[in-house]
Amino acid sequence: MASDRLFNLNVGVLGHVDSGKTALVAALSTQLSTAALDKNPQSKERGITLDLGFSSFITDKLPPQLEPKGHYTGLQVTLVDCPGHASLIRTIIGGAQIIDMMLMVVDITKGIQAQTAECIVLGEIATHRIVVILNKIDLLPEAKRSQLIAKATKMIHATFQATRFAGCTVLPACAKPGEGSEGGAEVKGMDDIIAAIMNMAPNRPRQPDGPFLFAVDHCFAIKGQGTVLTGTVLQGSAKVGEMLELPEHKVQKKVKSMQMFRRPVQSCQQGDRVGICMTKLAPDTMERGLVSSPGSVPTFSGAIAAVEKIRFYVGELSSKMKLHVTVGHTTVMATATFFGVPDGTTTDPSALRMGRLASKEHVQDFDFAQEYLYQHYLYGFEGRPHDASAPKAGRQQQQQQQQQQQQIDRSASVGDKPKHYGPQWALLEFSQPITAPKDALVIGSRLDADASNKTCRLALYGRVCGLLDPSSSAELARLKIFKMKQRTGSIKRPDKDGHSAVCQALFKKETDLSIFVGMKVVAGCGITGTIQGAFGKSGKFRVAFSEKLPGEMSEEDKILILSFKRFIYDRDKHHMVQ
């Protein structure tokens, strides 16, 4: 079988700690990589996965959807065993970004647990293909086993109904028998799991086009050969003899050889799990990171990302909040400033945009020419403003939320047309420089939250769509984010002709009124006017109105409103735009 014609499918195995993920991987695997099945000494001692483990199995039976495409001769399934412990969520996030589909392992005796929920969120971001494995069925009483499996399956379907995985495949399994009532029972369910994986394999061939991008998860030296970097090809292709770059270190090295699960190959492409051997590279240079085509991966300290709030996150996400932001295997602190389109409209439909943010497809470059409105919060999934009132517990909380949502629905409507709040972006200012692709997936988390709490710590996700240096005022000035400002004054004395008036209370006496000359104001009676200049030195000013003022005016009619935009990164702090 020609190894370079195998279709490699990366399957993430996720779930709560001690749900049996590693046992499942062991039962499925026939070949192990250099970072497989809990080789970490601490992992063995504690009995939980502490790092990403990689192993594989190969079948020469190709899924029907791949037979006419790409001339593949077989399917290689690479299993990515992700840790289930809450404190290791950084590693879980890193694993989620390289997978094509997901096996969600659930301990059938315990059901959905806290970290299982977070893995569902990561799965929604990383892939739309999932199979739920109800593991440890041997622990169920044999007489009631079928009934309990059916009940658990129904509960799983109900839980997943509100996610993009509604109607997903649910399979019972026993990956490590011997603990239950059947004693030395055989492993069960593996054939069904393999069939489900094959059935869900993507129906399009890998794309070798574009700059090469390789996510490294392990690094080790081979005496007399060089240093081997193992990982997953995220994009493009590479071959033996090529020069590749370690962008975080700004060094280039030549590819001496390649292997895929101990089989020598001459090239690799998108989706492949491969080991790349380079000479004159110290093995401690990197443990995790990226290898790329020279010059294709930038290092930056600030980025603009198209973002969405993760709907399971409880609480508000406000501008200037600090978050843990994960890009690839790197997690750093970042300050987020949220903004959106002024009128809440967009040419990119909401559902389509969210699909692009969550997928590996191209995301539209950020438009620096457009003006954007500063927003205090990242709104929820449905584009409605967040209500910051204190939550209450249990049924009372649910009733309150329903009432609040109904009120928001009413207030967000104009006639029969619902108001749309539009897409949102975040300016991310990183605490230290990040090296990542220009369209990298980003995940914002509150990892400082108590890991033992049963709340989702994943707060937002999105894609990088623009880069800038937040320490440069000139760079920030490219970002046209404005806040709407409003001042209120009053008409003091209309002129006899009724088309102009002396007005007051908009400005202090020391204000330089020259910068406001020509700006528009609106009177309480609805008539617009233009500021002509100062009247005396007490802060009063003259306004010329577009039409004659009423002969008799109430106090409300005399109210005068001045509205304008102030761009938050404008180097001219006196600059105002209407």
Find the CATH number of the domain harbouring 51: 3.40.50.300
Whether pLDDT at 150 is above 90: yes
| Segment among 107-116, 144-153, 180-189, 513-522 with least mean pLDDT | 180-189
Q: pLDDT by residue (tens digit) across 412-429?
A: 333 333 344 578 999 999
In terms of residue numbers, what domain contains 340? 299-404+418-477
pLDDT confidence of residue 510: 93
pLDDT confidence of residue 372: 93
| Segment among 359-363, 407-411, 489-493, 529-533 with least mean pLDDT | 407-411
SS3 category, 239: strand
The whole-chain average pLDDT of the chain stands at: 81
The reply to whether 412 falls in a domain is no
Beta bridge partners of residue 391, listed in sequence order: none
Q: pLDDT by residue (tens digit) across 88-119?
A: 455 556 556 678 899 999 999 998 876 777 78
The reply to whether 247 falls in a domain is yes
The reply to whether 552 falls in a domain is yes
Whether pLDDT at 35 is above 70: no
The reply to whether 130 falls in a domain is yes
For the chain, the domain total comes to 4
SS3 category, 404: helix
The reply to whether 577 falls in a domain is no
Q: Are residues 304 and 284 in the same domain?
A: no
| Segment among 47-51, 242-246, 320-324, 439-443 with least mean pLDDT | 47-51
pLDDT confidence of residue 412: 36
Q: Are residues 124 and 264 in the same domain?
A: no
Whether pLDDT at 2 is above 80: no
User: Are 525 and 553 spatial neighbours (Cβ–Cβ below 8 Å)?
Assistant: yes
Q: Return the half-sphere exposure (C-beta side, CA atoms, 13 A cut-off) of residue 467.
A: 13
Q: What dihedral do alpha carbons 503, 509, 515, 518 form, nearest 10°?
A: 10
Q: Are residues 190 and 47 in the same domain?
A: yes
How many angstroms separate the CA atoms of 357 and 351, rounded? 10
How many angstroms separate the CA atoms of 16 and 118, rounded? 9
Q: Are residues 281 and 305 in the same domain?
A: no
How many angstroms separate the CA atoms of 278 and 291, rounded? 11
The reply to whether 462 falls in a domain is yes
Q: Are residues 90 and 183 in the same domain?
A: yes
Among 277, 292, 307, give the residue marking a domain's end.
292
The reply to whether 541 falls in a domain is yes
| Segment among 66-80, 205-219, 313-327, 336-350 with least mean pLDDT | 336-350
Mean pLDDT score, 218-239: 90
Q: Return the half-sphere exposure (C-beta side, CA atoms, 13 A cut-off) of residue 420.
A: 12
Q: Are residues 217 and 237 in the same domain?
A: yes
How many angstroms separate the CA atoms of 109 and 184, rounded? 19
Q: Are residues 171 and 40 in the same domain?
A: yes
Beta bridge partners of residue 531, listed in sequence order: 543
Cα distances (Å, whole numbers) of residue 530 to 143, 251, 351, 506: 85, 61, 43, 13
Among 450, 477, 504, give the residue marking a domain's end.
477
CATH code for the domain of 255: 2.40.30.10
Q: Are residues 274 and 329 in the same domain?
A: no
Whether pLDDT at 448 is above 70: yes
Q: Which residues contact 354 (CB under 8 A, 6 or more apart)?
A: 308
Q: pLDDT by residue (tens digit) across 116-147?
A: 777 888 888 878 899 999 999 999 999 999 99
User: Are 469 and 300 spatial neighbours (Cβ–Cβ below 8 Å)?
Assistant: yes
Helices 350-358 + 114-126 axis angle, to 10: 100
User: Are 443 and 93 spatial neighbours (Cβ–Cβ below 8 Å)?
Assistant: yes
The reply to whether 573 falls in a domain is no
Q: Are residues 335 and 459 in the same domain?
A: yes
Q: Which residue has the higher pLDDT, 227 or 232?
A: 227
pLDDT confidence of residue 90: 56
Q: Which residue has the higher pLDDT, 208 or 324?
A: 324
| Segment among 168-182, 352-366, 431-445, 477-491 with least mean pLDDT | 352-366
Q: pLDDT by residue (tens digit) across 370-386?
A: 999 999 999 865 444 44
Q: Are residues 424 and 494 in the same domain?
A: no
Q: Are residues 189 and 121 in the same domain?
A: yes
Q: Are residues 497 and 435 in the same domain?
A: no
CATH code for the domain of 534: 2.40.10.190
Predicted model pTM: 0.78
Among 257, 292, 327, give the residue marking a domain's end.
292
Q: Which residue has the higher pLDDT, 486 or 314?
A: 486
Written as one string, the DSSP assignment of 450-474 is -TTSSS--EEEEEEEEEE--TT-HH
Mean pLDDT score, 352-380: 77
Confidence of residue 405 (pLDDT cuts 50, 70, 90): very low
